[in-house]
Structure 1
């Protein structure tokens, strides 16, 4: 089994030469494109998630030998969450080589965060099965770049921080409302407004409600703290 020119270019960007090209092709195959003789990437995704978790846990321990479990957990979650996997997939232009069924392709599957994140985990598993843990570790650390060293800021959950600030001021937890939704069904944009009991508000938009809520909370937190 031979990689296409596009797949070979992706493998080069990834930094791994596959002894078994079929592993990469399977990692790039979405369920919408699978057949009895062409399995999808869901089992690889399951494995890749665990490989990624172990690599990131080790990297965090090495980066900060004095950190407590309570400090490490949010950093870990920030590094392995689906949004981060999708960001890395975007940097590698993984969407260009995803194997999708017609309906998924027509609905913008190559840009969907969930599909990209899942496929990135599957690719990690493909490297692991092809060449072992050390090879997978090298690919992951190279692809994630400086995220391990800068994760402390990303690990700070703005919604939690805003709620803690409000409670410290004797206020009720902030409320979040979806005030607008635009864009096509396959690529929606959500506008979220967060409001404190004292009346201050913050607003932000993002491709998912979760990200819009986080961004709105961050904006409001900066405003009330005078940052």
Structure 2
């Protein structure tokens, strides 16, 4: 395994991460396409849980919303899209370690890859500095997203479900109709239909996001 580059070390230090074990942070930045024995997936698994608890605690302490409203905001704030947005803001794309083919395929700017690596960095931070320091870092990095509109409005799929029920229509049906691209930058196409009303297709970097976008477009067209 190669060593963490000085440039990456300086970048992490500048962000306020405590780098005691450089190999851990190298692992967090390493994509499977490099062929390295240790890559970010295990740290991503850990970081995902750290992120969820950090945001859930913040929402509980700073919001009077119902359980359903808190869950809706949590899902939006910890989504791959939100993680990728934070990753781009702090400069993750410049430090991702990728194989040549993956880099040529645009993996350095993939929501999937960036979101996963952002979580892996949080996993590394948890192991190096503990939960409290990592939670504080999450609150700092996610502050612009938390203060934005993410998760505040009704989710498009919920809105479509309620619209169909309110108009005495059968529930919307979602069907995966296409998948393209390499695994690290896959694109999913989903069709949503409401019987005797119409249908819409949308494409995104995950099946869930494609369903959400299809529901949003359906409401724009038919709602």
Structure 1 residues without counterparts, runs of 5 or longer: none
**Shift of residue 89 of structure 1?**
1.6
Q: Which residue of 2 aligns with 1:138?
A: 136
Q: Which residue of 1 aligns with 2:49?
A: 50
CA deviations 1:81-108 (Å, max 9, x no partner) are 2232222222223122112233433433
**Shift of residue 61 of structure 1?**
0.2
Q: Which residue of 1 aligns with 2:29?
A: 28
Q: CA separation of 1:27/1:200 partners in 2, compared to 1, >3 Å: closer, same or farther?
A: same
What SS is found at the alignment partner of 2:168? coil
In structure 2, C-alpha distance between the alignment counterparts of 1:13 and 1:171, rounded to whole Å: 55
In structure 1, C-alpha distance between the alignment counterparts of 2:204 and 2:43, rounded to whole Å: 29
**Shift of residue 191 of structure 1?**
6.2
**Shift of residue 167 of structure 1?**
1.3
Query: Does the CA contact (< 8 Å) of 2:77 and 2:151 recur in 1?
Result: no
Q: CA separation of 1:89/1:173 partners in 2, compared to 1, >3 Å: closer, same or farther?
A: same
Q: CA separation of 1:41/1:202 partners in 2, compared to 1, >3 Å: closer, same or farther?
A: closer
Worse-superposed segment, 111-120 or 50-59: 111-120
Q: CA separation of 1:44/1:205 partners in 2, compared to 1, >3 Å: closer, same or farther?
A: closer
CA RMSD of aligned residues (A): 3.1
Query: Does the CA contact (< 8 Å) of 2:3 and 2:26 recur in 1?
Result: no
Q: Which residue of 2 aligns with 1:41?
A: 40
In structure 1, C-alpha distance between the alignment counterparts of 2:136 and 2:46, rounded to whole Å: 17
Structure 2 residues without counterparts, runs of 5 or longer: none
Q: Tell me if 1:62 matches 2:74.
A: no
2:103 to 102, 105, 119: 105
Query: Does the CA contact (< 8 Å) of 2:75 and 2:151 recur in 1?
Result: no
Q: Which residue of 2 aligns with 1:77?
A: 75
TM-score by length of 1: 0.78
2:120 to 122, 145, 149: 122
Query: Does the CA contact (< 8 Å) of 1:14 and 1:143 recur in 2?
Result: no
In structure 2, C-alpha distance between the alignment counterparts of 1:175 and 1:195, rounded to whole Å: 5
TM-score by length of 2: 0.79
**Shift of residue 62 of structure 1?**
0.9
